[in-house]
């Protein structure tokens, strides 16, 4: 995704989370850091006009449009380890972590590159006492977020595989990607 291009992540049917990673295309040791993003914005949430930052505290993507306004910067991608721990699932189960691993391998990036993603449409609510609630996404059919690349990027997106909680309202659907 070259500098200046915009990626639109669309929820075609509604209530589907999309996990999103990004890397500097030239030097992938610079990558999207949800921690630096939370730190620089002083918030767990992100708004139109704000940036997602890299681990080098540089603006990496700018939010140029957002029809939903509720996303998550806290949760790791779902993974075989998470399904085992939280749901007792030991057999095969699709996961964001495995999807990222397969897709990033084509770019020479191994799973050590998979940090906490920007979890688009994931509706994590926080209380003053720090308690978190994962509620159904607010996204309805056709809703989207649009992100502009601040420099040349490798971007990976996966529709989240969790059917066991309200994360995706109990069932999984597609995610559509458009690049402008």
39: three-class secondary structure by DSSP: helix
Closest CB 81 distance from a copy of itself, rounded Å: 4
Q: 77 vs 82, 122, 167, CA distance in Å?
A: 9, 11, 12
Q: What is the CA radius of gyration of the chain?
A: 15
Identify the residue among 2, 48, 84, 180 touching a copy of itself (CB under 8 A).
84
Q: Six-digit token pair at 130?
A: 């720090």
Q: With contact defined as beta carbons under 8 Å apart, do 174 and 11 qualify?
A: no
Of 48 and 81, which CB lies nearer to a copy of itself in the complex structure?
81
Q: Token pair of 156, please? A: 């990976």
Name the one range near a copy of itself by CB under 8 A: 8-16, 49-57, 145-153, 172-180: 49-57
Which residue, 16 or 116, is less far from a copy of itself as judged by CB? 116
Region 113-152 residues binding a copy of itself, contact defined as CB under 8 A: 115-116, 126-133
Q: Give, as ranges, the residues between 7 and 36 that touch a copy of itself (CB under 8 A).
A: 29, 33, 35-36
Identified binder of a copy of itself from the candidate list 9, 22, 63, 79, rule CB under 8 A: 79
Q: What are the CA-CA distances from residue 4 to residues 124, 154, 172 (Å)?
A: 29, 13, 31
State both tokens at 3.
Answer: 């500098």
49 binds a copy of itself (CB under 8 A): no
For residue 142, the minimal CB distance to a copy of itself (Å) is: 25
CA distances from 47 to 12, 37, 65, 71 (A): 21, 12, 9, 10
> Where on the chain is the footprint of a copy of itself (CB under 8 A)?
29, 33, 35-36, 38-40, 42-45, 53, 55-58, 74-76, 79, 81-82, 84-86, 112, 115-116, 126-133
């Amino acid at each position: 995704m070259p500098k200046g291009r915009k990626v639109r992540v669309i929820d075609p049917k509604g209530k589907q989370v999309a996990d999103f990673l990004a890397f500097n295309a030239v030097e992938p040791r610079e990558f999207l850091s949800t921690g630096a993003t939370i730190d620089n914005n002083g918030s767990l949430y992100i708004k139109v006009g704000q940036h997602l930052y890299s681990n080098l505290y540089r603006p990496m993507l700018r939010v140029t449009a957002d029809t939903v306004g509720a996303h998550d910067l806290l949760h790791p991608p779902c993974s075989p380890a998470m399904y085992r721990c939280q749901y007792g699932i030991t057999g095969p189960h699709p996961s964001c972590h495995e999807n990222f691993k397969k897709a990033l391998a084509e770019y020479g990036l191994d799973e050590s590159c998979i940090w906490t993603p920007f979890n688009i449409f994931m509706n994590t609510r926080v209380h003053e006492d720090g308690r978190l609630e994962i509620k159904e996404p607010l996204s309805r059919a056709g809703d989207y977020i649009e992100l502009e690349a601040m420099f040349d990027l490798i971007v990976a997106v996966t529709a989240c595989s969790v059917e066991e909680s309200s994360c995706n309202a109990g069932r999984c659907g597609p995610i559509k990607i458009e690049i402008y």
